[in-house]
C-alpha cells in the first residue's frame, strides 16, 4: 500500500474515532505542550537576562567596584554576609586612585544611591531612587535624554543642585508641563531639573523610569551615603579584552591600597555582567536538565497509552486485517498501515501540543514581562519525538496485526 | 498449446493439530481444473469444502501434497509470494461478503488494486468498470449498510473481478441470501463464465450446483465423485 494511501486511511480512522483518538494522545500532547512552553519560557528568560537584565543593571563592557556584590543571586551564607559588612566602604580616595591608576582609556563614574520622596508644587513622588553620580554616569548607562541636558563636569565638581530625572518621574511630577528649569525638592533641598532621560521600559515588571540623578557632591550626598564614600565606581572599557585588563589593574590597586597580603581575599567586589549571566546560565542548565526527564516521562506514558490503544484497534479490526490479507495485502502492507496510523495519531497529538505550547508562550508573553519566544528547534524536536513515540508504540501492535493468519482473522466477528 | 490444467492438486492434505488429536480436513485431494470451467463443489457439512477453497485461494497452505496454479507450485511459496498470488490470480467471494463496513462500494472494489500498486486514477476506472459489470453502476458511493444483501454480494464479486483473476472462487456465495436474490447472483456468475471467467463454487444446494458444468463432491476430505454434465 502506498504511503499516501496509508496516511489518508490513518486520518480517516482517527477522525472516525475522535473520542478514543483524543484520549490516546493525551500523554504525547502533555509532553509536547510542556516541551514547547518550558523551552520558550526558558529561552525568553535567557534572552531577557542577556539583552536586558545584565546589561541594564551592569552595562556592556562595564564593571563595578563595590564593597560587596550589588546583584546577589543564589544562596549567600550568613558567614559571607557578616564578612561583607565588616569590609571598608569604597572611599572617594579609592575611586580617584583607581581612575588615575588605570592604564587604558576608560569611562568612569561614581554612583551612590538611596530612596527618598520628591516633591514639586504640592505633588509628592514617594520612594524614588535618588542617585549621586559624576558627569559620565549617563554615558556609561547608555541613557539618551528626551529633554534638556545632563549635568556638566563643572556642575558635578562644584556640586550644583541640578537634577536629571526619569521619564515616569517627570510625568508624575509635571504631567504635561515641561519639567526643564522647574524646581524639585528632596527633603526640603531645592533642585533644578535640567534633563529627562527617555523611557527605559521595565525589568521584571518594575519601572526603570522612576529615578533622579544629581551630582555626587551636591547636597544629596548627605542622603545617599556617609561622608566621602561611594556605593560603586563604574568603569566602562572599550572592549572585552580591555575590560579584563582594567579589572586586573583595579584589583591590584585596591589590594595595594588596603595592604592585603597574598593570602588575604579581596575585601571589595568587582562585578561584571558575566558573573550574573554565569549564574543565570546555571539555573538555565538545571531547568534544561530537568526538562528532558519530565518530557520523556510523559512521552513514555503517552507511548504506552498509544500502544494499548493500537493493540485494541488491532483486536477490533482483526476481520478487516483478514479481508485486506485475502485481497493481497502483504505483511509489510499491514505493518505499514498500523505504524502509519500510530505515528499519525502521535504526530497529530504532538501538533496540537505544539499549538497549545505556542499559545501558552503567547499568553506568558502577553501577560508577563517575559519575552517568551518559541524556539524553532523545540518545534522540530517535538514533531520528531511525537512521530518517534508513535512509531515505537506502534511496532508491537503492527507486527501482531501483520502476523495474523488470514483464515483465522477473516472468521473473527 | 499443451493441455495444462489451470489448477492441479496432487495428494493435497490439510491437517489441524489440536493438542492431542489431529483433525484431517483434507486427506489426499486429486483434482484438476481447466481454464474456463465452471465447477461446483458439493458435500455435506464438515467434508472439507471450505478448507479446500482456502487452500486453492492461497489463504491457507496444505500440510502435504502439491498445488500447482498456472504451472507454478504454490504449495512451497512464502507468505509474501502467496499474498501476491491472492492479489493477482485469485478472486475470492465469501458467504458473508466480507466488505469493509466504513468504505464505499467503490473503495471496497479498489482495495485489491491498492495492494497491486495501481495508480489512483487507474484504480477508480477499473473499480467503476467492475461495478458496472455486476450492475451496480448507480451504487458506487454507497456503504455496505446502505445496500441489500444481494447488492453487497455483487460488490464482493466486483472486488473479486477487479484484478482480472485467473480463477473466481466462491464459498457458498448465496448462503446468506433468499432464493430470488440467489438466482440473481447465480445469473451474474453464469454471465461471467460466459465471458470466459473460470469459476469454482462451493454450495450444498443442488439447484445452485445445477448452474455449473461440472460437479465435484467431497466426502470426509477426499473427492467422492466428479461428474461433467453436457452444457445446457
Ligand atoms: N481451524 C480449524 N481448526 C480445527 N479444525 C478445523 C479448522 N477448520 C476446519 N476444521 C475442521 O476441518 C473439517 C473440514 O471443515 P470445512 O472445510 O470448514 O468443512 P465444510 O466447509 O465442508 O463444512 C471439519 O471437521 C472442521 O471441523
Ligand atoms: Mg464451509
Indicate if the pLDDT at residue A365 is higher than 90: no
Minimal Cβ distance to A1: which of B84, B99, B115: B115
What pLDDT is stored for residue A281 in this prediction?
Answer: 76
Instruction: Looking at the structure, give the CATH architecture of the domain made up of residues B7-228.
Output: 3-Layer(aba) Sandwich (3.40)
Ranges A85-99, A215-229, B63-77, B114-128: which has the least confidence: A215-229
| Nearest-neighbour CA in chain B from A344: distance (Å) | 19
CA angle A37/A43/A49 to nearest 5° reads: 135
Contact A357, A374 (CB under 8 A): yes
User: What percentage of residues in chain B have a pLDDT greater than 90?
Assistant: 89
> Measured between CB atoms, does A16 come within 8 Å of chain B?
yes
Q: Which whole number is the average pLDDT over A350-354?
A: 93
Half-sphere exposure of A244 (CA within 13 A, CB side): 2
Confidence of residue A227 (pLDDT cuts 50, 70, 90): confident
Contact (CB, 8 A) for B5 and B33: yes
Q: What percent of chain A has pLDDT over 70?
A: 96
**Residue B232 pLDDT > 50:** no
Does pLDDT of B1 surpass 50?
A: no
**Edge to edge, what strands does the sheet with B198-202 contain?**
B90-93, B167-171, B198-202, B38-42, B214-219, B222-228
What DSSP letter does each residue of A206-266 carry, written as one string?
EES--EEEEETTSTTHHHHSSTTEESEEEEE-SSHHHHHHHHHHHHHHHHHHTT--TTSPP
**pLDDT of A57 above 60:** yes
For residue A160, is pLDDT > 80?
Answer: yes
Average pLDDT for B98-122: 94
User: How far is the CA of B202 from the CAs of A323, A394, B8, in angstroms?
Assistant: 19, 39, 17
Q: Does the pLDDT of residue A55 top 70, yes or no? A: no
ipTM of the complex: 0.94
Quick one: average pLDDT of A12-31? 86
Nearest residue to B211 (alpha-carbon basis) of B154, B170, B151, B158: B170
**Average pLDDT of the segment spanning A262-277:** 84
Model confidence band, residue A54 (pLDDT cutoffs 50, 70, 90): low
Which of A133, A121, A96 is closest to A224 using CA atoms?
Answer: A133
Confidence bin at A249 (pLDDT 50/70/90): very high
User: Chain B, 187-226: which have a CB under 8 Å from a chain A CB?
Assistant: none
Which helix (DSSP H) or strand (DSSP E) does residue A148 occupy?
strand A145-148
Strand duo B72-73 + B64-69: pairing: antiparallel
Q: Which residue has the higher pLDDT, A286 or A82?
A: A82
Q: What is the mean pLDDT of residues B150-170?
A: 96
Averaged pLDDT of chain A: 88
Distance from CA of B94 to the nearest CA of A (A): 10
Range of weakest confidence among A66-75, A170-179, B127-136: A66-75
Domain boundaries defined on chain B: 7-228
From chain A, the residues in CB contact with B112 under 8 A are 327-328
- Closest by Cβ to A329, choosing from B54, B98, B115: B115
Q: What pLDDT sits at residue A176?
A: 84
CB distance A157 to A217 below 8 Å: yes
Amino acid at each position: 500500500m502506498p504511503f499516501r494511501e496509508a496516511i489518508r486511511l490513518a486520518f480517516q480512522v482517527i477522525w472516525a474515532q475522535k473520542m478514543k483518538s483524543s484520549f490516546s494522545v493525551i500523554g504525547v500532547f502533555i509532553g509536547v505542550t510542556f516541551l514547547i512552553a518550558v523551552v520558550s519560557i526558558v529561552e525568553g528568560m535567557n534572552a531577557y537576562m542577556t539583552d536586558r537584565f545584565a546589561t541594564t543593571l551592569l552595562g556592556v563592557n562595564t564593571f563595578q567596584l563595590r564593597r560587596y556584590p550589588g546583584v546577589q543571586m543564589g544562596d549567600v551564607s550568613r558567614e559571607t554576609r557578616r564578612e561583607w559588612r565588616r569590609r571598608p566602604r569604597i572611599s572617594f580616595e579609592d575611586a580617584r586612585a583607581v581612575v588615575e591608576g588605570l592604564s587604558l582609556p576608560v569611562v568612569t563614574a561614581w554612583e551612590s544611591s538611596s530612596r527618598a520622596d520628591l516633591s514639586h508644587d504640592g505633588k509628592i513622588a514617594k520612594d524614588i531612587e535618588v542617585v549621586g553620580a559624576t558627569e559620565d554616569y549617563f554615558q556609561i548607562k547608555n541613557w539618551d535624554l528626551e529633554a534638556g541636558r545632563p549635568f556638566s563636569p563643572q556642575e558635578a565638581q562644584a556640586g550644583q543642585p541640578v537634577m536629571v530625572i526619569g521619564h515616569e518621574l517627570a510625568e508624575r511630577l509635571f504631567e504635561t508641563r515641561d519639567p526643564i528649569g522647574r524646581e524639585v525638592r528632596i527633603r526640603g533641598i531645592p533642585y533644578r531639573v535640567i534633563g529627562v532621560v527617555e523611557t527605559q521600559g521595565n525589568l521584571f515588571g518594575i519601572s526603570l523610569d522612576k529615578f533622579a540623578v544629581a551630582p555626587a557632591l551636591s547636597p544629596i550626598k548627605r542622603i545617599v551615603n556617609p561622608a566621602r564614600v561611594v556605593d560603586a565606581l563604574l568603569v566602562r572599557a572599550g572592549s572585552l579584552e580591555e575590560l579584563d585588563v582594567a579589572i586586573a589593574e583595579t584589583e591590584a590597586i585596591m589590594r595595594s591600597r588596603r595592604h592585603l597580603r597574598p593570602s588575604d581575599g579581596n575585601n571589595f567586589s568587582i562585578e561584571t555582567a558575566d558573573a550574573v549571566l554565569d549564574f543565570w546560565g546555571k539555573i538555565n542548565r538545571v531547568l534544561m536538565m530537568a526538562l528532558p526527564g519530565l518530557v520523556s516521562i510523559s512521552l513514555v506514558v503517552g507511548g504506552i497509552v498509544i500502544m494499548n490503544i493500537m493493540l485494541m484497534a488491532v483486536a477490533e479490526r482483526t476481520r478487516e486485517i483478514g479481508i485486506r490479507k485475502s485481497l493481497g495485502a502483504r505483511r509489510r502492507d499491514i505493518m505499514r498501515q498500523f505504524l502509519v496510523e500510530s505515528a499519525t495519531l502521535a504526530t497529530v497529538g504532538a501538533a496540537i501540543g505544539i499549538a497549545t505550547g505556542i499559545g501558552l508562550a503567547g499568553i506568558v508573553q502577553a501577560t508577563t514581562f517575559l519575552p517568551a519566544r518559541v524556539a524553532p528547534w523545540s518545534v522540530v524536536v517535538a514533531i520528531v519525538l511525537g512521530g518517534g513515540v508513535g512509531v515505537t508504540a506502534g511496532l508491537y501492535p503492527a507486527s501482531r496485526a501483520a502476523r495474523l493468519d488470514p483464515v483465522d482473522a477473516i472468521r473473527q466477528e | 498449446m499443451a493441455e495444462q490444467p489451470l489448477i492441479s492438486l496432487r495428494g493435497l492434505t490439510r491437517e489441524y493439530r489440536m493438542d492431542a488429536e489431529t483433525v484431517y480436513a483434507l486427506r489426499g485431494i486429486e483434482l484438476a481444473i481447466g481454464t474456463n470451467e465452471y465447477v461446483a463443489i458439493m458435500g455435506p457439512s464438515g467434508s472439507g469444502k471450505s478448507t479446500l477453497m482456502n487452500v486453492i485461494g492461497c489463504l491457507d497452505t496444505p500440510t502435504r501434497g502439491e498445488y500447482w496454479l498456472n504451472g507454478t507450485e504454490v504449495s512451497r511459496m512464502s507468505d509474501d509470494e502467496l499474498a501476491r498470488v491472492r492479489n493477482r490470480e485469485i478472486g475470492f467471494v465469501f458467504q458473508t461478503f466480507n466488505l469493509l463496513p466504513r468504505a464505499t462500494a467503490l473503495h471496497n472494489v479498489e482495495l485489491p488494486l491498492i495492494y497491486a500498486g495501481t495508480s489512483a486514477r487507474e484504480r477508480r476506472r477499473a473499480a467503476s468498470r467492475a461495478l458496472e459489470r455486476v450492475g451496480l453502476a448507480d451504487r458506487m458511493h454507497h456503504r455496505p449498510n446502505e445496500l441489500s444483501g444481494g447488492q453487497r454480494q455483487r460488490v464482493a464479486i466486483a472486488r473479486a473481478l477487479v484484478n482480472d483473476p485467473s480463477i473466481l472462487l466462491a464459498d457458498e456465495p448465496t448462503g446468506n441470501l433468499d432464493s430470488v436474490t440467489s438466482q440473481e447472483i447465480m445469473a451474474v456468475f453464469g454471465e461471467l463464465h460466459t465471458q470466459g471467467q473460470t469459476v469454482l463454487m462451493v454450495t450444498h444446494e443442488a439447484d445452485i450446483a445445477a448452474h455449473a458444468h461440472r460437479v465435484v463432491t467431497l466426502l470426509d476430505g477426499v473427492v467422492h465423485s466428479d461428474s461433467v454434465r453436457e452444457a445446457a
